[in-house]
Structures are given as C-alpha cells and as structure tokens.
Amino acid sequence: METPYYAVIFTSKLKNETDGYEEMGQRMLELAQKQEGFLGVESARNEIGITVSYWKDLDSIKKWKQNLDHLDAQRKGRVAWYEQYTVRIALVEREYSF
C-alpha cells in the first residue's frame, strides 16, 4: 500500500456464546471490501481478537462507521458477542516488510 493511509485497529474479547458471529464477520468483510477507500484487512484470534482494516483516509473510515449494516453489527456485537472491545485509529506514515 502506498503511504500514508489509515489503520483501524479493533481488539476484542468474545463472550462464551457467539452464535452468528462468524457469519456476521464474513458479511462485514464483504461489505467493507465494497466501501470506497477500503484498502485491505488482516485478522487473528486467540485469547483476544485483533482485526486491522486499512483505509485511504479518515472520510472513508467515517462513512464505513455510518454504514447501516455495520451499525447493526456493532449493536449486535455489544449486546451478544463482545465481553469488551477497543477501537484505535492510526495514521500509517511508513511501511516496510520482509
């Protein structure tokens, strides 16, 4: 990805009961991929889950946050799936890899 861009870092701890969580996660990924400004995503889950989505700019993140299906998923997450979560938004100014 060409810098600069933004990373939305979502860390979470799930409740014991997560019926429908995987399906909703897949649906949100499909929707995000269609969202203007979406650049990609990486995710891992063990004791905590970490999902990092990458965005062209803050306006793209704001529009995704306001997506009605995403708002519904957020509400369901708070009520049914998450014991706790944190969202962090960071500007990525440099990137390198091996």
Taking only the tens place, the pLDDT of each residue in 9-58 is 999 999 998 999 999 999 999 999 999 999 999 999 999 999 999 999 99
Considering its fold, how many domains does the chain have in total?
A: 1
97, part of any domain: no
Band (pLDDT 50/70/90 cuts) for residue 71 is very high
What is the structure's pLDDT at 93? 98
Ramachandran angles phi, psi of 60, nearest 5°: -65, -40
Give CA–CA dist 59/53, Å, rounded: 14
Which residues lie across from 7 on neighbouring strands? 54, 90
98, part of any domain: no
What is the structure's pLDDT at 96? 94
Which residues lie across from 45 on neighbouring strands? 49
Whichever domain contains 50, its CATH number is 3.30.70.100
Q: How far is CA 81 from each of CA 8, 51, 97, 98, rounded to the nearest angstrom?
A: 20, 15, 34, 36
Answer whether 78's CB lies under 8 Å from 12's CB.
no
Domain housing 77: 5-92
Answer whether 56's CB lies under 8 Å from 37's CB.
yes
